[in-house]
Amino acid sequence: MRKVLGMGNALVDVLAIIKDDNLLDILNLPKGSMQLIDNSKLEIINSEINKLEKNIVSGGSASNTIIGLARLGVETGFLGRIGSDFYGQYYKDDLKKHNVKSHLTEVNEASGVASTFISKDGERTFGTYLGAAALLNADELKGSDFAGYDFFYIEGYLVQSHELIKKAIILAKQAGAKVILDMASYNIVEDNRDFLLEIIPQYVDIVFANEEEAKALLNMDAEAAVSHLAKEVDIAIVKTGSKGSWVESNGEKTFVPALSVNCKDTTGAGDLYAAGFIYGLINNYNLNICAQIGTLLAAYVIQEIGAKIKEDHWGDIIKEINRISK
């Protein structure tokens, strides 16, 4: 079976449900956004999040996708940076637990933490302290990290580091891997629009976006955006939240509706959708089935708090995938 390497911010998620969105205004965190924060802002956020009931899980967008693929039996690896502290060890242990090959660098810095506020409607807002994760840089990437992998998956949160992304993509291509980019967050897209418009047609084979990210990049609605992107990459996917997702490749376009479930928290929905879709590609399923598998995994994860699907649900998921793919 083909192998997948992910690269992203190695973050531990601290998740809390908020009773209303006033706290987001107090903390100056726009609802639904991902804001990078410094140590002083982290202290302010911690003072508020510590008043709430919270959960701690390993996270980071690419890591969530890679662990999802690993749970489906795909050989995976993860490339990132952690600190030599409690959160770093927690992160490292979690990769090992899920049989993900570690390409982690450990440094004497605080590990990255994503403070995640979950609104009553399931929307999540991040205040992200990158810490050691931000120290991942182009000079430290080695061709050997990419050897043997068939797909290279990049989370869009890294696109602010243009040199890192270009170096990683070039090494992945030299190793014979297809490049998959998930755009990650609309405000990141807005800030790096020119760079994304440069690298997508030049280097990217498969692109994932949601409708807000597609709008920020192309100023188009989801269906128009997927057709535009499909002219520049092999496969384009634009997700429309609770409605479903558009997928297009080589002039073949399909829409797959979302599943109707009780949404508690949208954290990880896009990450697990990507895991399911890539699993479908690895198994040579058609685009519609790939999107159905992605939709299935997204539906499972939004019924939980956090970006991990419960251990006892994976057996049911695999049975459902087998049914979908017949």
What confidence tens digit (pLDDT) does each residue in 194-253 have?
999 999 999 999 999 999 999 999 999 999 999 999 999 999 999 999 999 999 999 999
Residue 297: give its domain's CATH number. 3.40.1190.20
The per-residue pLDDT for 86 is: 87
Query: Which residue from 317, 281, 315 is spatially nearest to 301, judged by alpha carbons?
Result: 317
As a three-state string, the secondary structure of 113-170 is EEEEEECCCCCEEEEEECHHHHHCCHHHCCHHHHCCCCEEEEEHHHHHCHHHHHHHHH
The per-residue pLDDT for 140 is: 86
Whether the full predicted model's pTM is greater than 0.95, yes or no, is: no
Write the CB contacts of 38 (distance below 8 Å, at least 6 apart in sequence). Answer: 129
pLDDT at 1 over 90: no
The structure tokens listed for 18 are: 């908020």
Assigned domain for 47 exists: no
The per-residue pLDDT for 56 is: 83
Assigned domain for 231 exists: yes
Higher pLDDT, 206 or 326: 206
**Strand 54-59 to strand 11-17: parallel, antiparallel, or no bridges (unpaired)?**
antiparallel
Query: Distance between CA atoms of 290 and 280, rounded to whole angstroms?
Result: 4
68 touches 273 (CB < 8 A)? no
Assigned domain for 304 exists: yes
pLDDT at 304 over 90: no
The per-residue pLDDT for 306 is: 78
What confidence tens digit (pLDDT) does each residue in 21-44 have?
999 999 999 999 889 999 899 999
Which of 55-59, 97-101, 125-129 comes out lowest in average pLDDT? 55-59
Assigned domain for 25 exists: no
Assigned domain for 15 exists: no
With cut-offs at 50, 70 and 90, classify the pLDDT of residue 258: very high
Q: Cα torsion for 26, 31, 34, 36, to the nearest 10°? A: -20
Query: Which residue from 255, 233, 225, 244 is spatially nearest to 180, judged by alpha carbons?
Result: 233
81, containing H or E segment: strand 76-83
pLDDT at 136 over 90: no
What confidence tens digit (pLDDT) does each residue in 68-121 have?
999 999 999 999 999 999 889 999 999 999 999 999 999 998 899 999 999 999
- Reduced to 3 states, what is the DSSP secondary structure of residue 106? strand
The per-residue pLDDT for 52 is: 93
225 touches 245 (CB < 8 A)? no
Q: Which domain holds residue 80?
A: 4-9+60-110+134-324
pLDDT at 122 over 90: no
Assigned domain for 38 exists: no
pLDDT at 168 over 90: yes
What count of Cα atoms within 13 Å lies in the side-chain half-sphere of residue 326? 5
Assigned domain for 182 exists: yes
Percent of the chain scoring above 90 in pLDDT: 81
The per-residue pLDDT for 326 is: 85
Average of per-residue pLDDT across 134-158:
93
Query: Which residue from 274, 231, 235, 238 is spatially nearest to 256, judged by alpha carbons?
Result: 238
pLDDT at 171 over 90: yes
What rounded mean pLDDT belongs to the chain? 94
The structure tokens listed for 23 are: 């706290």
Please give the tally of structural domains in the chain.
Answer: 1
The per-residue pLDDT for 124 is: 87
The per-residue pLDDT for 54 is: 87
Assigned domain for 53 exists: no
pLDDT at 134 over 90: no
151-155 β-sheet, strand order: 100-107, 76-83, 4-7, 151-155, 178-182, 206-210, 235-239, 244-249, 252-257
